[in-house]
Chains A and B, each alone.
Chain A
Amino acid sequence: MPSTPLLDIAHVCKDFRGGVRANADISFQVRPGEVFGLLGHNGAGKTTLLNQVIGLLRPTSGSIRLDGADAVADPDMARRFCSFQPQSPTPAEGLTPRQAIEMMARIRGASRKEGRTRADELVAALDITEWADRKSDKLSGGVKRLAAFGMTVARPGHVVMFDEPTNDVDPVRRRLLWTQIRELADGGSAVLLVTHNVLEAERAVDRLAVLDKGAVLAQGTPTQLRGDQAGRLRVELVSIDPAVAAELASAFGGVVTGRRVLASIDAADCASAIARVQREQELGRIDEFAITPTSLEDVYVRLVGAEAPEGVNDEALVA
Chain B
Amino acid sequence: MRHWSRSYYFLLKWNVLRFRSVLPLHITVQTLLSAGVVLGYAFLIPHLTPANALYLSTGGMTISLVMVGMVMLPSTLSYRKETGLLEFQRSLPVPRMSMMAADATMWIVVAIPGLVVAMLLAVLRFHLRLSPSPMVIPALALVVVGSVSVGYTISYLVKPVLVNLITNVIIVVTMMFAPINFPAERLPDWLAAIHRFLPFEYMAQAIRETVNVPRAGVSALPFVVMTIWAVLGLTVATRALTRRQ
A residues whose Cβ falls under 8 Å from a Cβ of B: 16-17, 54-58, 75-76, 79-80, 84, 86-88, 90-91, 93-95, 99, 103-104, 106-109
Q: What class of interface size applies to chain B in its complex with A?
A: 20 to 34
Q: Is the CB of B244 within 8 A of A56?
A: yes
Contacts of A54 in B (CB 8 A): 91
Contact of A55 among B11, B84, B85, B244 (CB under 8 A): B244
Once the chains bind, are A75 and B10 in contact (CB under 8 Å)? no
Beyond A55-B244, A58-B245, A108-B93, is A91–B10 a contact (Cβ under 8 Å)? no
By a CB distance below 8 angstroms, the chain A residues around B13 are 103
Counting chain B CB atoms within 10 Å of each CB, the highest count among A58, A76, A107 belongs to A107
Which chain B residues (4-33) contact chain A, with CB distance < 8 Å?
Answer: 6-7, 10-11, 13-14, 17-19
Kindly provide the distance from the CB of B97 to the nearest chain A CB, expressed in whole angstroms. 12
Judging by beta carbons under 8 Å apart, are A107 and B94 in contact? Answer: yes
Cβ of B83 within 8 Å of any chain A Cβ, yes or no, is yes
Q: Which residue of the partner chain A has the closest CB to B11?
A: A107
Extra contacts, 13 of them, besides A93-B83, A109-B6 (Cβ < 8 A), are A16-B245, A58-B244, A58-B245, A76-B93, A86-B87, A86-B88, A88-B84, A94-B14, A95-B17, A99-B17, A104-B92, A107-B10, A107-B11
Give CA–CA (A50, B84) in the complex, Å.
15
Partner of A91, one of B6, B11, B88: B88
Is B90 at the interface (CB under 8 A from chain A)?
Answer: yes
Known A-B contacts A93-B18, A107-B94; the reply to A56 vs B10 at CB < 8 A is: no
Q: Pick from A17, A56, A57 the residue with the most CB of B within 10 Å.
A: A56
Query: Could you say which of A79, A90, A103, A108 contacts B91, with CB atoms under 8 Å apart?
Result: A79
By the criterion CB–CB under 8 Å, are A107 and B245 in contact?
Answer: no
Q: Nearest Cβ in chain B — how far from A118, in angstroms?
A: 15
Check A90/B83 contact, CB under 8 A, given A103-B10, A107-B10.
yes
Closest 3 CB pairs of A and B: A94-B18, A88-B84, A58-B244
Overall SS of chain A's interface: loop
Q: Which partner residue on chain B sits nearest A108 by CB separation?
A: B93
Indicate if the CB atoms of B83 and A88 lie closer than 8 Å. yes
Mask of B67-84 contacts with A, CB within 8 angstroms, 1/0: 000000000000000011
Give chain B interface residues in 118-174, CB to chain A under 8 Å.
Answer: none
| A–B complex contacts, Cβ < 8 Å, 6 sampled | A56-B87, A56-B90, A58-B245, A86-B87, A87-B84, A99-B17
- CA of A95 to CA of B88 in the docked complex: distance in angstroms? 15
> A86 touches which one: B10, B11, B91, B93 (CB < 8 A)?
B91
Q: What residues on B are CB-neighbors of A109 within 8 Å?
A: 6
Chain B residues within 8 Å of A107, by CB: 6-7, 10-11, 92-94
Taking the closest CB of chain B, its distance from the CB of A29, in whole angstroms, is 22
Q: How far does the alpha carbon of A79 sit from the alpha carbon of B3 in the complex, in Å? A: 14
Query: Are A94 and B93 in contact, CB atoms less than 8 angstroms apart?
Result: no
Inter-chain contact A94/B91, CB cutoff 8 Å = no
Query: Judging by beta carbons under 8 Å apart, are A57 and B91 in contact?
Result: no
B83, B87, B88, B94 — most chain A CB neighbours (10 Å): B88
Interface string of B23-65 (1 = CB under 8 A from A): 0000000000000000000000000000000000000000000
- Bound CA–CA A87/B7 (angstroms): 24
- In the bound assembly, the distance between CA atoms of A108 and B242 in angstroms comes to 19
Complex CA–CA separation, A269 to B6 (angstroms): 66
Residue of A58, A93, A104, A106 most packed against chain B (CB within 10 A): A93
